[in-house]
Amino acid sequence: MSGPDFSKSDLIPVIAQDQASGDVLMLAYMNDEAYQETLSTGRVCYYSRSRSKLWRKGEESGNVQEVQEIYFDCDADTLLIKVNQIGEAACHEGYRSCFFRRIDAESGEFTVVGDRVFDPAEVYKK
């Protein structure tokens, strides 16, 4: 085996982790084409399920992810990519990490624990 196995599923989950801080930044998906582009360019390319096309991280926001290390799990159906996050945010809602809400295990209520670093309306003009 030489890497992820796309014969099991066209899309596999990808966890992006900031190499310097260890923060989990986001979870997205890749198909084989996105994976090959990521390898050839050194910048993370995902597959957007909502838009049904390749999504070059940062193509609109400028918040790109440079590949530092790539790991795959024991079943070869999940990737962990350690990245150098260029720009302050990985999240399209303007937060450093997509995991900016913490759920209280007892009450089920959540609290926003991250700081918004940009206004999505300004960045994406939507």
Give all strands (DSSP E) within 19-108, no chain letters.
24-30, 45-48, 53-56, 65-72, 79-85, 101-103
Q: Is residue 7 part of a domain?
A: no
One-letter amino acid for residue 32 of the chain: D
Give all strands (DSSP E) within 1-126, no chain letters.
12-18, 24-30, 45-48, 53-56, 65-72, 79-85, 101-103, 110-112
Band of residue 24 on the pLDDT scale cut at 50, 70, 90: very high
pTM assigned to the model: 0.92
Q: What pLDDT is attached to residue 125?
A: 81
Q: Give the number of domains in the chain.
A: 1
Mean pLDDT, the chain, rounded, equals 95
Q: Is residue 111 part of a domain?
A: yes
Q: Are 24 and 97 in contact (CB under 8 A)?
A: yes
Q: What pLDDT is attached to residue 67?
A: 98
Q: What CA–CA distance (Å, rounded) separates 62 from 65? A: 9
For the segment 73-102, what is each residue's pLDDT rounded down to a tens digit? Answer: 999 999 999 999 999 999 999 999 999 999
| Domain region containing 47 | 12-117
Q: What pLDDT is attached to residue 126?
A: 65
